Structure 1
Amino acid sequence: MAEHLRLDSYLDFAAGRTPHLVAVCQTVHSIAAAGRQISRILARGPLAGNLGAIIGASIDGDGQKALDAMTHTILREALARAPVAVFASEESDEPEVLDPHAPLAVAVDPLDGSSNIDTLAPIGTIFSIMPAGMGVADDPAAPFLQPGRQQLAAGFVIYGPQTALVLTLGAGTRVFTLDPDSGAFIATRGEIEVPHTTREYAINGSNLRHWAPEIRTYIMELKKGRNGPRGEDFNTRWLASMVGDAFRILMRGGIYLYPADQRRGYRAGRLRLVYEANPIAMLMEQAGAAATDGRTAVLDLVADDIHQRCPLVFGSTDEVMRVADAYHAGAVNESPLFKTRSLFRKTASTIESLA
């Protein structure tokens, strides 16, 4: 399809060609409208009020900020006008039934990276669209407790120097940039293809002492650069904003790691599987990249709670495979983790689990 393709036209084309996507495309329209509204609020910064003010408790323990609550409300109201049966949000303890007869379930992180509100670093809205199935009135959580491969669409809106909507409908990943003059989201390039190799990695190195040996050894190999077993230099890029790091990786490759570690609250990972890891994993796989919790492809995991946490590693396939192989080697035999040679050997089982 041609460059400078409008999101509206793209969604209309997809819905016309694939009837089961009609409701999905209507829902993406609603999310895009909410993204435009949030973008306008963010563009005003402190002129819109103290957006970073703590106004209550939050599920992650960091405190709910004014803009967290505001974006939750904006998205809920937008999705209430879409064919959405049930709505799950990081800002709510339980899913909310909107229309039990509608075909879709939508999970959102209304504002990923909200700690960056006052620093002008990238923040974003992440969403996952699932089939609702039957009986959501009796069990509103049920649609979200299935493998991420059941997602019909996923994406995020990133608010930075530009506002962009990153989207997959299950057939490639595209980026649509918001034109502030017209209000249209417009694609200026074709489908995204993440390079398989990279020399950039993103991880919070201050937590090194808490990591499992597999992650610690992998990162130390990268840090040794051309003098180490990899024989080449790597650069660190860490924004403390998952959507920002994900967008960079989609544009030029890289690997992002948020592993589990030994701190309280981090032992099962920190990011939420349903509305953070799953949509990012779908976007990555549809762009030729990969996502794993270290042992299993993220999209094959099944949550038992809408707020379930998981470790997350995503990005350029070759590096994600190396991390998975590190965990595989550690499970089979711990001794290779402490040798000076490279410990990464691609195994058929690892590659198959991430394909």
Structure 2
Amino acid sequence: MKILVTGGAGYIGSHTLLQLLGARHEVLVIDNYSNSSPEALVRVKKLAGSGFKICEGDILDTCFLNTVFTEFQPEAVIHFAGLKSVGDSNRDPLEYYTRNVSGSIGLFRCMQQHNCSRIVFSSSATVYGEANYLPYDEAHSLSPTNPYGRTKFFIEEVIRDWVRSWDGSSAVLLRYFNPVGADSSGLIGEDPTGTPSNLLPFVSQVAVGRLDKLIVFGDDYNTRDGSGERDYIHVEDLARAHLAAIEYSWENSGCEAINVGTGRGATVFETIEAFERASGCKIPFQCAPRRAGDIASSIASVRKAEQLLGWKAKLNLEQMCQTAWNWQKNNPYGYVSTV
């Protein structure tokens, strides 16, 4: 299959790209490198032992998109491109709505013009908001608590209406829980710009000496130890879910939202302890007030993914921490050798 991957140089995109190449799909990656590095794609080529096409550009550039679609003629799209920080979205919501929602609509319009009718969308468990019950299943009400989550919610709604209007089209909305870890090779992994907003890269950078201490946002949640609880999923498992989803979309029409998690939760303090065991490093931390838009617990029901995609997470929290540490210790400054 000919697959266009937007944001393919990013953390999840690069790991998914490796899976797609392993399954011998023909791939073109587009990325503006605003929160990623071209070096990730160099390393994916090395790991895969095969090449793929790359075009640098922005999904907000309609002329660029049209040129890409005209020349490559993709049969399906996996859409990762977008901004993803809860905190940043609270500070600059208009940028998030422009990049995430407007950018996605422009991509969908281009897909329709070029008769590319299959998409796998990088959504998020943040669309659920505060839990009415746990684990979240796909029938849970949607009430995101921050602008980032609302951009994902709005894009999902756009896709539903779009697919409903286009006979034979197919969309899979993958609602990620908390991707962590890295490829076992240690060659590709999570490399955020600036101070990390997610737990594992923050912990990793403390362990490797880039940051002095971890900030734990909130220790007074209604959880077993007061810290936030999340369903962490290894990025390799998540990448396999995208491969399963794109193959599902080829055989089915309509729109399906599917959770991607493990069905198990770990608190921030439990995750710190797991990382200390994996790395042999003590992680100093300081507790701070809760961040706006954060929730107490987020755990997935993964039954639908098993039933529709034949997919299930394989890797546990210890393996997530081990591979995250392997990536960070071998690449202390990410994709650049020094700072």
| TM-score scaled by length of structure 2 | 0.29
Higher RCO (C-alpha 8 Å, min separation 6): 2
Q: Which has the larger radius of gyration?
A: 1
